[in-house]
Amino acid sequence: MPAVGEIYLVTGGHGFLGQEVIKLLIEENRDLSEVRILDKVIQQNFIESLQALAGGRIKLTVFKGDVRNKEILQKACQGLTCVIHTASVIDIWGYISNEELESINVEGTRLLLDACIQQNVKYFIYTSSVEVVGPNARGDPICNGDEDTVYLGKLRFQYSRTKYAAEQLVLSTNGCLLPNGEQIITCALRPMFIYGENCRFMKSHLDEAIINGDVLQRNSKKQALVNPVYVGNVAWAHVLVARAMKDKDKKKIVCGKFYYITDDTPHMSYSDFNHELMGPLGFTIPDKLNMPLLFMYVTAFILEIVQFLLKPFIRYIPKTNRHFITMLNTKFTFTSHKARNDFDYIPRYSWEVVKKQTTAWLASIVQERRDILNKK
C-alpha cells in the first residue's frame, strides 16, 4: 500500500448510491490509498467485498455513526483529500418529522462542512437531487431543462426543502479559507430519480404489483415524462467531478457549481418506467390511471384533512398526498450537457446494459418477495 496517497470519505457509504461510489473509486482512482466509510449501519459482508476488490492496495476504514456526531466527523476528516457526501434522509410521505429531516439533511451537512474546514479538507462533493427544483404545486412542466432553466414555485416536500438548503450551504462554502491557507472547493450534483439493482423504491413497486395480482399500479399518466438515471452512472459522475476538482484548469470551472446528472434512459412516466423493467417478468399495467386525476387529488386532500384532525390523538400517515400525485404526473426532464462540457461526464453504462441488469436483479428477488408477502 502506498505510504502517501489520496484519502476519500464517503458518507452514507453503505447506502444505495454510496456503495457504487466506493466501488468505482477503488476501481478507477490509481492515486487512492484509503477510503473511509461513514454510515449508521455497515454490514461486514460489504466490507469484505470491498477488501477483495481493493486487493490490499487500498485501506478501508469504517466509521459507524451519522453526520451529526461531531467527534466522529473530526476523526473521519483528519488528513482527508475529498468528501463525497451522499448521506441524507429521504422522505416524501411524512413518516419522518420535519425536525429530523432538518437535523440530518441540513445541520448534518453544516457540521460536516465545519469539520472539513477545521481539518483542511480541500474538496467537497454533495449529492443533491432534482427535487430541489420541483415540481412546484402547480405542476408546471420542464422539458430538457438545464442549469440555466428558471423554474419558480414553492417546494412542498420538507425533504426537498432540506436538500436545497444543504446544497446551498455547500455551494456557498466554496472558496472559504482553510487554516493551512488554501481554499475549499465544493460542487453539487443533482441526479434524476436513481434506479438500479438494490433500489428499495423499485422493490416497493414490485411488492405492490405482487399483492395486486402481478399488475403494476398506474399512478402517472403516460404524458408525464421523466428521465431516471442509473445508480452506476450517478456514481461515475461523482468520480469524474472529483478528478476535475484536482485539475488546475477544470477546477476553476466546476467550483461552486451544481450539475444535473442524466443518462440515456428513455424518457417515460414513472409508471411506464416500472413496467419497462418489470414487464419481461410477466407484470402488466393498465393503460389508464387507476382513477381520474381530479379524483386522486380530491381523495388525497380528504386524507390530508383526516391526518390534520387526528394529529392531536394519533399519528396517521396517508399513503399518498397531493404533491406526490403532482410529482408523478408532471413532465420533468433534464439534460446533463453542462456536466459533459465541464468535467467530461459521459454515462459509463448504457440503457441496454442497465435494463438487463436491473430486470435480472428484479427476477432474482421476485420469488423471495412472493414468499415473504404470502406469509404476511
Residues labelled catalytic: 159
Name the burial class of residue 91, with classes exposed (0-12), middle (13-18) and buried (19+) by CB atoms within 10 angstroms of its CB: middle
CB half-sphere exposure, 197, CA atoms < 13 A: 13
Residue whose cell numbers read 387526528: 310
Report d(CA 281, CA 46) in Å as an integer: 28
Residue pair 198/16 in contact by the 8 Å Cβ criterion: yes
User: For residue 351, which of 189, 223, 232 has the smallest C-alpha distance?
Assistant: 232
Calculate the CA 68 to chain-centre distance.
Answer: 19
Q: At what angle do helices 16-28 and 44-54 cross, to 10 degrees?
A: 20
Q: Which of 169, 200, 240 is nearest to 21 (CA)?
A: 240
**DSSP calls for 308-339:** HHHTTT-----S--HHHHHHHTS-EEE--HHH
H-only helix segments in the chain: 16-28, 44-54, 70-77, 98-101, 108-118, 158-173, 200-211, 231-245, 251-254, 270-278, 293-310, 322-328, 337-343, 351-375
CB 54 within 8 A of CB 60: yes
